[in-house]
Amino acid sequence: MRSRHHGFTVVEAMVVVGIIAILAAFAAPAMNQLIRTQKVRSIAYDLFADLTYARSEAIARGHNVGIGSKSGNDWGTSGWFVRDLSTGDQLRDQGPRAKGISFTADVPGIIFLPTGRTAMNASFTIKPVETAPDDQKRCIRITASGRPNSTTGPCP
């Protein structure tokens, strides 16, 4: 009697590897798009949280609290900080953000008054560096009331 070997032949294994490679080739562009969207969303959430934190600290401490870029209006390349302007204490420090994301503001910094209000309006645009659909862009605005508002899409 002859014994039969169980398992796959080399040809069968190569066919399965080929099918997996074809499926991966179709999935890669969608995965890149997902990664870009998540990077933008993550940065927007970090900034929104720090804006809310700076406002609440201004109210709680009864001092002016500032949040500002470490270099001009480009908040993404250098990062940003939150500082109690009365005492000079640095409350938070954020480093540079993910590569491939454009993160700019129309102001280099914002001061929250002890009432939680600001003296100026500001908007932040966060988007991928390369051309992207509007659902991959975020806009964060702050009005004189001091409350940040985040929306999907470009800033008008």
Mean pLDDT for the stretch of residues 75-90: 92
Per-residue model confidence as pLDDT tens digits over 112-135 = 999 999 988 999 999 988 888 888
Cα–Cα dist 112/144, whole Å: 9
Contact call for residues 128 and 40 (beta carbons, < 8 A): yes
Q: Whole-model pTM above 0.95?
A: no
Region of residue 55 (left: phi > 0; alpha: psi -120 to 50; beta: else): alpha
Domains in the chain, CATH or no CATH each: 10-152 (3.55.40.10)
Percentage of the residues of the chain whose pLDDT score is greater than 70: 97
pLDDT of residue 76: 83
Per-residue model confidence as pLDDT tens digits over 16-29 = 999 999 988 888 88
